[in-house]
Amino acid sequence: ATKGEFLYEGKAKQIYATNNPNQVIIHYKDDATAFNAEKKGSVQDKGVLNNEITTLIFNYLESQGIKTHFIEKLNEREQLCEKVTILPLEVIVRNVIAGSMAKRLDIEEGTKPSNTIFEICYKRDDLGDPLINDDHAVALGAATYEELEHMYKVTAKINDLLKEHFLKEDIILVDFKIEFGKNSEGEIVLADEISPDTCRFWDKNTMKKLDKDRFRRDLGDVREAYVEILSRLTK
């Protein structure tokens, strides 16, 4: 693939066209943001680490039958992906209560619910990505009920696969966010990234946070946490 024109810049990634109209190159940056970009910074080599971590996770999910936009890793910071139209939804799964749910409902972080919690948020920076339900998503034209049903099914499978995959490395998958996109055939596939930027990972033995909460909460050792996740996935 030959890198073409710059198409789009998000908070952590840039997207470039390629010579193939159905493919894009995704470039991972070191920029870090939190709280709807109120907090800004950068983590040295985060782009390199998240590109590699996302590559390992997407390859694993593909091997287990999950359809994704991922084609191949091109170099340290770039991957070749299928061009998709991202649905304006963030799908969040919670296995342990933390973050915004702990705060919003006044539940102690670390509480284990008896069920798995699925949330959807409307991707709109100016609104702070508000929590919505299926009826809102359909009314907004973000997805159809059938598409939502498909996304929840795939998301549940991804959660089962990743929970087990990480637990083998003594990591608790507390929660995570994924995004879906529609490819040129109209198929809905897993897109975006899965990394310590988009998941909460707690060490099973020490309960140490190994994710972006170290940046959000100024806990230090941010880069080291991402390196630790990568090293456990490759050991």
Q: Which residues bind ligand C5P (CB under 6 A)?
A: 90, 92, 98-101, 129, 175-177, 198-200, 212
Shortest Cβ 36–ligand C5P spacing (Å): 8
Residue 62 CB burial class (10 angstroms; 0-12, 13-18, ≥19): middle
Q: Which residue is nearest to ligand C5P (CB)?
A: 99
Shortest Cβ 195–ligand C5P spacing (Å): 9
Distance CA 222, CA 229 (A): 11
Shortest Cβ 175–ligand C5P spacing (Å): 4
Shortest Cβ 92–ligand C5P spacing (Å): 5
Nearer of residues 59 and 100 to ligand C5P, judged by Cβ = 100
Shortest Cβ 127–ligand C5P spacing (Å): 12
Nearer of residues 187 and 218 to ligand C5P, judged by Cβ = 218
Give me the sign of the Cα torsion angle 75, 78, 83, 89.
Answer: positive
Nearer of residues 78 and 90 to ligand C5P, judged by Cβ = 90
Nearer of residues 79 and 198 to ligand C5P, judged by Cβ = 198
Nearer of residues 69 and 212 to ligand C5P, judged by Cβ = 212
